A and B are shown apart, each in its own frame.
Chain A
Amino acid sequence: MEELDFNEIKKAQKGDKKAFDSIITVYRQRIIDLCSRYMRRTDEALDMAQEVFCNAYGELKNFRYKSKFSTWLYRMTVNMCINRLKSLKRRRFFETGSLTADEENNEKQIDVADARMPADKEMEEKDTRNIVLAELESLEPDEKSVIILREIEQVEYSEIAEIMKMPLGSVKSKLTRAREKLKQRLIKKIGD
């Protein structure tokens, strides 16, 4: 995994816009991909990645060089994605009553923020990969994060521990539990 030179980051910290632009260029693919694992929609993933870089620009002065810059950026991405998903869930809850258009009362159908394809529709497609990803989405945020980081992004355990700010052993046990949970759910769905 390509890492940017710390000098470039120091320059960016001092307000060098060119240096920060190079940071964006180096890390954007990884951050967008990671966002797409959480958001599962390209436009939302891109939007989220842009927000991550905007936030990173403001928080850059807080980077202490104790970890890799990518780890620091990943941690920010994971936290922001989890928060975004939580807020989308809440919004979906509050807007449940106005999901459909009411012609009698002249109410138009609102544009629901979380317009991802529902899990049940994906089931109809009988695509195993989609089923696995749909089930992955139903896991707890922490469990989902360890699976994404370890299984999909192939991040080292120690780095996951840093990203998620938890001990290494906790990461391993959480990953084992998450795999087991996912496996059991998949057995129920596609086991027969």
Chain B
Amino acid sequence: MECKELKKVLEQYMESGRINEDALKHIDACKDCAREYNIIKEMKEAFAVKESVKIPQDFNETVWKKLDEGQAFSWQRAFKSVFSGPAVPAMATAVTAILVIAFVLKFSTVNNIQKIAQITKPVTIKAENKTAVLQKKVQQKKQEIIAAVKKAINQGNHAQAKNQETAQNKAPQQNQAPLPQDMQPQQIAQLPAVAQAQAKEIGMSSVRQTSQPAQNTKNINEAEAKDTPTAETSKESLLIKNNVIDPVKGESVTIQYNVTQPANILIKVYDRLGENIKTIESSYNKQPGLYSDYWNGDDDTGAQVSSGIYIIYIKTGLVETKTKVCIIK
């Protein structure tokens, strides 16, 4: 007999418990088959042991007791059956996770929208109280000057009307008008320039460039026409453009500010930890004019700063403020 044949015999032996003599001879000769036979024998012996559990005397009573308990509905048992199962930890974790995600999503979305709206909104910083007081003074002075100029012009027109009959050609009013009684011609000629100078001195908003000469009354008329409100004046004091930039694309923050009288200018960039990473402008006694500074997202060493929120501190003669700038790469 071969080992293959013996395997079939052993299967039959497992089923019936009987084995023929040929198979036994082979088992005596073959070590592997002997080992297999012994294992099957052990299995059969193990299964053959009939161990009966001793039945307790109150078995039937216990069953009936359980049945009686089962028939009466109990909220406690119902609760136990639902919440004491092995799946409860998984269920509880899942429910908690869903609640947390829902909570985070809801509030983070609202906050993000608000933050984005704040960041992307064009930043226009109003002048502070100090500036507002100055602007009122400017307004008053301006009106006084305009009134004086108008008076002078009216007086000039009146004199011109009187001389119209004798005059052949129409010369400019100011040149040909007879002098008013209380003003010299030189004074009239000088008035617009003085007004301009005064306006410049008190920081009129319509006068943008100090280098631009103001020689005639046209400028004053423009000033009258543009009689700007305080908000506009404050707008022109400081203007920050592109406060969300991507330095990689070559974008930069533009800080435009107005200097009406010599003042110290300080523009610095701070990170969220309050560390000064860049000084954009630090000028002493800067002359009046309209200036623009740019920040392209680098620090004092010239390296690009990482993405995030930065704060630009601006101090001019008119304004002292801080504004947030977002760097997104």
* Residues in chain A within 8 A of chain B (CB atoms): 17, 21, 24-25, 28-29, 32-33, 36, 42, 45-46, 49-51, 53-54, 57-58, 87, 90-91, 93-94, 128-129, 132-133, 147, 151-152, 176, 179, 182-183, 186-187, 190-191
Decide if A91 touches B86 in the complex (CB within 8 Å).
yes
Cα(A33)–Cα(B55), bound, Å? 10
Decide if A183 touches B52 in the complex (CB within 8 Å).
no
Decide if B59 touches A50 in the complex (CB within 8 Å).
yes
Query: B45: which A residues are within 8 A, CB to CB?
Result: 128-129
Decide if B63 touches A50 in the complex (CB within 8 Å).
yes
Cα(A6)–Cα(B53), bound, Å? 27
A-B contact count (CB 8 A): 82
* Minimum C-beta distance from B200 to chain A (A): 78
Query: B44: which A residues are within 8 A, CB to CB?
Result: 151
* Chain A proximity mask over B148-166: 1 for CB below 8 Å, otherwise 0: 0000000000000000000
Decide if A133 touches B46 in the complex (CB within 8 Å).
yes
Given A45-B53, A87-B86, decide whether A190 and B39 contact each other with a Cβ distance below 8 A.
yes
Decide if B60 touches A24 in the complex (CB within 8 Å).
yes
Decide if B35 touches A24 in the complex (CB within 8 Å).
no
* Minimum C-beta distance from B82 to chain A (A): 14
Query: B87: which A residues are within 8 A, CB to CB?
Result: 90
Q: Is the interface of A mostly helix, strand, loop or mixed?
A: helix
A46 touches which of B35, B40, B53 (Cβ 8 Å): B53
Whether a CB of chain A sits under 8 angstroms from the CB of B11 is yes
Query: B86: which A residues are within 8 A, CB to CB?
Result: 87, 90-91, 93-94
- Scan residues 47-95 of chain B and give those whose CB is less than 8 A from a CB of chain A: 47, 49, 51-53, 55-56, 59-60, 62-64, 66-67, 70, 85-87, 89
Number of interface residues of B (CB under 8 A): 30
Whether a CB of chain A sits under 8 angstroms from the CB of B43 is yes
| Chain A residue nearest to B10 in the complex (CB) | A183
Given A54-B63, A132-B46, A152-B47, decide whether A46 and B56 contact each other with a Cβ distance below 8 A.
yes
B14 touches which of A25, A93, A179, A191 (Cβ 8 Å): A179
Whether a CB of chain A sits under 8 angstroms from the CB of B42 is yes
Decide if A54 touches B49 in the complex (CB within 8 Å).
no
Given A36-B53, A129-B49, decide whether A24 and B59 contact each other with a Cβ distance below 8 A.
yes
| Chain A residue nearest to B59 in the complex (CB) | A28
Cα(A21)–Cα(B39), bound, Å? 43
Additional A-B contacts beyond A53-B63, A183-B39 (19; CB < 8 A): A24-B63, A29-B52, A29-B55, A32-B55, A36-B53, A46-B53, A94-B86, A94-B89, A128-B46, A129-B46, A129-B49, A132-B42, A132-B47, A182-B43, A183-B36, A183-B43, A186-B43, A190-B42, A191-B39
> When A and B form their complex, which 7 residue pairs have the shortest distance between CB atoms, in order from nearest?
A132-B46, A90-B86, A151-B47, A129-B46, A91-B86, A53-B63, A32-B53
